[in-house]
Each structure stands twice: as structure tokens, then as C-alpha cells.
Amino acid sequence: MQDTATLTIDGQTYELPIVRGTEGEVAIDISSLRSRAKVITLDPGYANTGACTSTITFVDGEKGILRYRGYPIEQLAEYSSFVETAMLLIFGELPTKEERAEFRTMLGDQALLHEDLLHHFDGFPPNGHPMAILAAVINSLGTYYPDLLEIRSDEEFRQAVAKLISKVRTIAAFSYRKSRGLPIIYPDPRRSYCENFLHMMFSVPYREYTPTPEALRALSLFLLVHADHEQNCSCSTVRMVGSSEANLFASVSAGVSALWGRLHGGANSAVLTMLEQIRDGDLSVRECVERAKRKEFRLMGFGHRVYKNFDPRAKVLKAAAKRLLTSLNVQDDLLEIAQELEDIALSDDYFVERKLYPNVDFYSGIILRALGIPTNMFPVMFAMGRMPGWIAHWHEQFQDPNARIHRPRQIYMGPAQRDYIPMHARKRTS
Ligand code: CMC
């Protein structure tokens, strides 16, 4: 097997190292190209650019494979929990019983927010989007832990991890309570991660909310399948921000902002809105598909930059959505509409040729809806799930002795040099 690739530019030949991954992926290392040949590569949207090597998550988009630290997502979905999977992603191995118990205790101990931080919630308007609140409050968290703005030891890192994984859930629940004008319900450390979240979301002072085991399992599964997805937009943002040696709190807060967009974590709420429009008769399923084909809009929850086959997370969540609805004895029209939409799209040449399959966001909203989570909280739920992945990537980069500040180049296409025009001489032709 070759270990270099040959590139010829203007008659000059350059040997470039080839890097091979564990699963046979091949990359050409062009990091020395500009200094040697005064040439850069151009790749808008980075679809063909590897920004780093990583040991965290493997995705094979052609085969529909997703593995965290080598473990298939299907096995983790069946046997693991969100907290255990978060530990796997962040610390590299599945925890022992003792390690998991100890980490769960840390999460319980870290669930409260500093009381002063609660005033931040009062400063937002009641209808302020919870993603804005989440990003702002996570960034503010760092101000309460100045010792953790520089991570100097594994123990400090563990402390920061426990704070973020635990408190993101408290912040998410409090932002919902504020938006509804409901009193804040403090976390209860005796409850499991998911149970505690639902307690903070839905208990009221005179009535404790008790979720069913199926609801808890569905929430854990939702968070678990969202826990990492290698170099997606928000993860790359976290790495980008972290590459300047910005602290962990600031870096993951930037990840929340990147996740908010409709093409990324905001897609799950957009899917639900689309399904509701169909249910309410504003749009038929067929019309929806046709309008997507005419490129009037995108069929939300369909297509993926990497998956050119079924997104394995969509399969897991579709089955979970059905299980949850059956256990709750609920018939949701939206699930039926989603299935109809999927069937029509998957047999349509437009979607087949472009290899557009349902992605993770297509069925996730049905689960969240069944759990009583309002639509504007959907991306917040995604952010809670993705927190372990962001942290794992930030830390991997932090520990990498070869990591450098991210600083892409560009090809300038603007005006060539010209002389300053005084105000009186400026004219517009159109
Ligand atoms: N509906 C209709 N057409 C689509 C869709 C869609 N959902 N997605 C892609 N296409 C078409 C697109 O118009 C283009 O057609 P053509 O070749 O004729 O120009 C072709 O498929 C390739 O699209 P692209 O924009 O080059 O693909 P991309 O890799 O840049 O975008 C994507 C990936 C996920 C942003 C896109 O598929 C999309 O907008 N999907 C809808 C939003 C969505 O569900 N996002 C969640 C993604 S998964 C979770 C996450 O990342 O957070």
C-alpha cells in the first residue's frame, strides 16, 4: 500500500503523506502543501476535509454505521444508558459498576445552580427562546468556577464534566419553567439523570411527576443516540473555539449556538411543525414531497451530509417512538403521517437518486412530544444529549500535543487594489 500521494502542479511534483484510519479510511495530509507549493485546497462546507484524527466516534455514511469508541450504536441503544454512554465517550471506556456509581453521585451533587445564577433567568423575556437561554447560561456558568477555566489535572476535568453534564439539564428545565411562568423545581439527587430532568420539568409543588419506566427509557435512548456524531457543525464549532484555548464552558456554549440552526439541531422542531401542518390540512403529504422536489423548501428530517443510507439513529428512534406510544396507549397522527411521508419519499426518484433518507431528527420529535416536551425545547434536548460528545472532542483536542489554532484560508475574489475615492466623487451607477 502506498504511503504517499503524488500531486503535480504547474509541472512541479509534490509527495504528500497518506494517513489511514482504523477502519480503512484514507486521507492525504496536505498540511505542508501551502508552505511547499504556495497552494491551498478549496472545500466549501468542508465536505471533503478532515480537520483532525479522532478516536471517539466512527461513522460510515455509505453503510449506515455509527459506533462510539468502537461500540455499535444499536448495542449501546439496547444495553446502555445515557450516563454510561456519556462516560464511554468522555473517558474512553465503559465504566465499571463502581465508576458509574461514583459518577452518578457526582452528577447528583452537581445538579444545583448557584443561587445568583437564577437571577439570569429573570432577565430573559418570558417568550425568549430556550436555546438562547441555554447558550447564555452555560457560558455564564464558567464565571462561577474560575478554577476550572484552566484545566490542569484529570480531577479538574472530571469536576468540569460533572458540572456541565448535570447542570445543562437543570438549566434546560429552568428555562422551560420560566417560559411558562411556573415555579422552579429544584433537582432531587435521589433520582436518576432522566427522572430528575422530568421531575424539574413537570413536577409542581403540590404534585410530584412520576414518569413511567418506558418514558424514562425513551428519554435515555433519545439522549444516547444524540450523544456524539463526530465532526458535525456544532462539534466542529466546539473544536474551533477550543482551539484558541478558550475554556470548556465557553466552547460548549458556542456549540449550543451552532446547533440551533434549522439545518442542524433545529431540524427536529422543524419536522414537527411540518408534520403538524400536514395534519392540520395546510399541506398534503404528496404536496409536501412535491414542493421539496421543486426546492421550495427542504423536507425536514431528510438527508444528511454523511449518511447516504439509512441513518442508524433514525431506525433506533423510529422503533422507540412506536414502543413509547404503545406503552402510553397513545395513537399519534403525526407518527402515521411521518411513516407515510417516509414511504412516499423513499420510493420517489428525487430522493432515491440523491440518497436522501430519514435522519435522526425525523422520528425524535414524536418521542419528545409523547414525553410532553414542547416543540421549542426540542433543540435544547438535542443539546443535552450532545454535551458528552462536545466535551469529549474538546478534551481530545486539548490533550493533543499537535493541536493548533483553527485558522482556515480562503481564496480572495474581491476587487483588486484600488485608490480611496473622496465622498464628493462617489457615484452609484444603479
Ligand atoms: N429535502 C429536499 N431536497 C434535499 C434535502 C431535503 N431534506 N436534503 C438535500 N436535498 C437535495 C439538495 O437540494 C441537493 O439537490 P441537487 O443535487 O439537485 O442540488 C442534494 O439533495 C444534495 O443536498 P446538499 O444541500 O448538497 O446536501 P448537504 O450535505 O449540504 O446537506 C443537510 C445536508 C442535512 C443539511 C440537508 O440534507 C438538509 O437540509 N436536510 C434537511 C434538514 C435536516 O433534516 N437537518 C438535520 C440533519 S441530521 C442531524 C444534524 O446534523 O443535526
Q: What is the pLDDT of residues 101-142, one digit of tens each?
A: 999 999 999 999 999 999 999 999 988 999 999 999 999 999
What residue owns the CA closest to ligand 1's atom 3? 298
Ligand 1 centre to CA of 357 (Å) is 10
Site to substitute for ligand 1 among 302, 306, 350, most atoms within 8 A of C-beta: 302
- C-alpha distance from residue 103 to each of 83, 88, 161 (Å): 9, 12, 10
What residue owns the CA closest to ligand 1's atom 2? 298
**By the 8 A CB rule, do 181 and 124 touch?**
no
Ligand 1 centre to CA of 159 (Å) is 38
Strand arrangement of the beta sheet that strand 65-68 belongs to: 57-60, 65-68, 71-72
Q: Which amino acid is at 367?
A: I
Residues that are catalytic: 304, 361
Measured distance CA(21)–CA(18) in Å, rounded: 10
Per-residue pLDDT for the chain (430 aa), expressed as one digit of tens each? Answer: 889 999 999 999 999 999 999 999 999 999 999 999 999 999 999 999 999 999 999 999 999 999 999 999 999 999 999 999 999 999 999 999 999 999 999 999 999 999 999 999 999 998 899 999 999 999 999 999 999 999 999 999 999 999 999 999 999 999 999 888 899 999 999 999 999 999 999 999 999 999 999 999 999 999 999 999 999 999 999 999 999 999 999 999 999 999 999 999 989 999 999 999 999 988 899 999 999 999 999 999 999 999 998 899 999 999 999 999 999 998 889 999 999 999 999 999 999 999 999 999 999 999 999 999 999 999 999 999 999 999 999 999 999 999 999 999 999 999 999 999 999 999 988 7
The pLDDT score that the predictor gives to residue 2 is 86
96, HSE (Cβ side, Cα atoms, 13 Å)? 2
The residue with cell 409536501 is: 288
- C-alpha distance from residue 116 to each of 112, 113, 122, 213, 363 (Å): 11, 8, 11, 35, 38
Q: Which of 75, 74, 79, 55 is nearest to 64 (CA)?
A: 74
SS3 204: strand
Site to substitute for ligand 1 among 57, 268, 353, 359, most atoms within 8 A of C-beta: 359
What residue owns the CA closest to ligand 1's atom 44? 301
Which residues does 278 contact at the CB level (< 8 Å), separation at least 6? 284, 285, 288, 337, 341
The pLDDT score that the predictor gives to residue 358 is 92
The pLDDT score that the predictor gives to residue 232 is 97
SS3 419: coil
Q: For all residues of the chain together, what is the average pLDDT?
A: 95
- C-alpha distance from residue 222 to each of 173, 319, 351, 385 (Å): 16, 12, 26, 7
The pLDDT score that the predictor gives to residue 310 is 87
The pLDDT score that the predictor gives to residue 224 is 98
Q: Is the CB of 360 under 6 A from ligand 1?
A: yes
Q: By percentage, how much of the chain surpasses pLDDT 70?
A: 100
